């Protein structure tokens, strides 16, 4: 079993930046693929960014490409999301998720691919 704990959310003005962190209790075969999702009130859970086990493969939702950067530090069992040029439409609860390495394919934005989820951290841009 893997526990994921997000932190770093908060309130920021449009154009500002935030960095989210996700601390994993351990990195195992179940954390080979890690991703950030977000969910705004009244909307479904949206895949934001994905990173493979070694960090060599990343992908982003079109709405955040060029503004957000996903990274991971395997020595610290931690996943990050650097968010720049934030917009009001980025307001949501942000979740980190992990799954086996083979999930880091074209279907990575599908939330059903992931076995473990954090509790979420709120990001408000206004």
As averages over each run of 10 residues, the pLDDT of the chain (126 residues) reads 95 98 84 93 95 92 98 94 98 96 88 94 98
Q: In what order do the strands lie in the sheet with 78-83?
A: 4-7, 18-24, 78-83, 68-73
Question: For tokens 């990001």, what's the residue?
Answer: 123
Give burial (CB, 10 Å; 0-12/13-18/19+) of 126: exposed
Query: How high is the pLDDT of residue 28?
Result: 78
Query: How high is the pLDDT of residue 30?
Result: 65
Which residues, at least 6 apart from 69, have a Cβ–Cβ distance to it below 8 Å? Answer: 49, 81, 82, 84
């Amino acid at each position: 079993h893997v526990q994921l704990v997000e932190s770093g959310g908060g309130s920021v003005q449009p154009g500002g930046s935030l960095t989210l962190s996700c601390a994993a209790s351990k990195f195992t075969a179940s954390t080979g693929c890690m991703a950030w999702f977000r969910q705004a009130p009244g909307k479904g859970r949206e895949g934001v960014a994905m990173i493979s086990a070694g960090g060599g493969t990343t992908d982003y939702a079109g709405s955040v490409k060029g503004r957000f950067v996903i990274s991971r530090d395997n020595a610290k069992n931690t996943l990050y999301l650097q968010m720049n040029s934030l917009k009001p439409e980025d307001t949501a609860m942000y979740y980190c998720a992990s799954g086996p390495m083979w999930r880091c394919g074209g279907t990575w934005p599908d939330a059903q691919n992931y076995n473990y989820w954090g509790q979420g951290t709120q990001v408000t841009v206004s």
